[in-house]
Amino acid sequence: MTGRRVVLTGLGVLSSIGNGVTEFTRGLREGRCGAGEITLFDATGFRRQLAHEVRDFDPAEWIRHTPLEELGRASQFSVAATRLAVRDAGLDLAELRGRRGLVTLGTTDGEARELDQLVEAELAAGGPEHLAPTAVRRLPAHRLALAVVRELRLPRAVPSVLGTACAAGNYAIGDGFDAVRSGEADYALVGGSDALARRTFAGFSRLGLVASDRCRPFDAEREGLLTAEGAGVLLLEPLESALARGARIYAELLGYGLNCDAHHPTAPDQESVARCIGLALADAGIKPEEVDLVSAHGTGTRTNDITETRAIREVFGDRPPRTVALKSMLGHSMGAASALGAAASALALAHGFIPPTVNHRSTDPECGVDCVPNHAVEAPLRIVVNNGLAFGGNNASVVLGRYEEDQR
C-alpha cells in the first residue's frame, strides 16, 4: 500500500520504569527493572507475588473534564498517556479538535481490574442489587478510547478498541498508520493500555508461567514472565504536517504485518511468526539485511523465546540483528506491551542506542541471538522491527525507521 509518509511526533508512556518520555528513556538507558511486590490487590495465597506496577500515578493530574469515579484504571491510563503524547508532540488540543482523527487503543483485559473489584463488592454487599451503578458503568472496554475522545474533547476523532490480546498495541498502530497514510485521518493517537488485574495474574499463575523473581528472556534459566500494567500512546501524523510545523520526529512508521494462525490457544507457531515479520518488511519495502534491531515479544517463557528466535532466524538468517526483550525491564503489560515496545524502538532510533535485556545470566543456546545483555549500547540504528505475539496466534509486527529526508 502506498500513500503519505507517516511519522511519529509524540509519545505518551506510563510504565513500571518511569512515566513520561524523559523518565522512560532514562529507564531504558539505565536498564531499570520495575519488578516489585504487588500492592494493587491482595496476593495472599499465590506462590509468587511479584509484578510490575505503575508508580506515582495521580489520575487527577490528567483527567479534568470527567468524574474520576466514572473511569477504571486502564481508562485513566489511556487518557493520561494520550495527554502526554499530545503535549510531547507540541500540539495544542484546540488544533486537533478541528481535524479528522483516529483514537485506537489495544487491550487484553479492558477493565478487568474493575470487574475484580465489582465481584468483591458484590460479595461484601450481599448481592448485585446493592452495587453502585457508576461502578458497573466503568466495565465496558470501549471506554478506553471513548474516554480519550470525551476527555480531550475531540469531536472529529473516531474511537475504537482492539482486543487482540498481547499484540493489540501493534494492531492499533497499524490501524492508525493506514488511516493517516491513506488520508482518511489527519492524525492518529494509537497504542495500548492495561491495568494490573488479579484475574489475569491468577490465570498466568495457573498456567505456570510466572517467574519467581525476575523475567529473564532468552536466558538458559528463565522461568517465565511477570505480569505488568501500563500504557503507551503514539501520535502519528503525515510527514508534510510535521515538517510544516517544525515538529521533532522520533521515527518514521514504514509498515506493519498482521496474521492469525489459530494454531494453539497459548503456544506460538514459528512459521506464522516468521510470515508476520515478512509481511511487515514487505509492507515497509525493507529487506531483511537492512534491519538493525528486533524488539522481540520476548516473554521469558520456555516456548515463546525459542519459537520467536527461531522465527527471527528463519527471516534474517544465521546472523540475525540484535534482538532485545523489553519485558525484562517493563514486565508483560498485556495490550500495552507492543505499544511500549514501539515507543522504545522510536526512542532508540532517535537517540542512537539499544536498550538491554536485563536480568540476564547466560543465553540459552536454543535461542541463538545477541540479546544485548544487561547494559544499553550506543548504536546508529536505521531500521527496527517491533514484534507483538498473542494467545490464539494473533501476531503483529511493526517496522520503524530513523527519519531521513531522502529515505524514499
Q: Which residue numbers are catalytic? A: 166, 297, 332
Cβ-based neighbours of 69, under 8 Å, separated by 6 or more: 134
Can you read off the three cell numbers belonging to residue 219? 536466558
Q: Are 387 and 217 in contact (CB under 8 A)?
A: no
**Pick from 73, 37, 72, 74: nearest CA to 52:** 37
Please, what sign has the CA dihedral across residues 394, 332, 172, 144? positive
Q: Which residues pair with 259 in a beta bridge?
A: 395
Segments in 324-399 forming alpha helices (H): 327-330, 337-351
Distance between CA atoms of residues 145 and 162, nearest Å: 10
- The beta strand positions in 182-245, using DSSP E, are 187-194, 230-238
- Count of H-run helices and E-run strands, the chain: 13, 14
Q: Which residues pair with 192 in a beta bridge?
A: 106, 232
DSSP 3-state of 325: coil
Q: Are strands 101-106 and 187-194 parallel, antiparallel or unpaired?
A: parallel
Segments in 237-296 forming alpha helices (H): 239-244, 270-284
CA angle 194, 195, 200 (to 5 degrees): 90
Which letter does DSSP use for residue 219 in this model? B
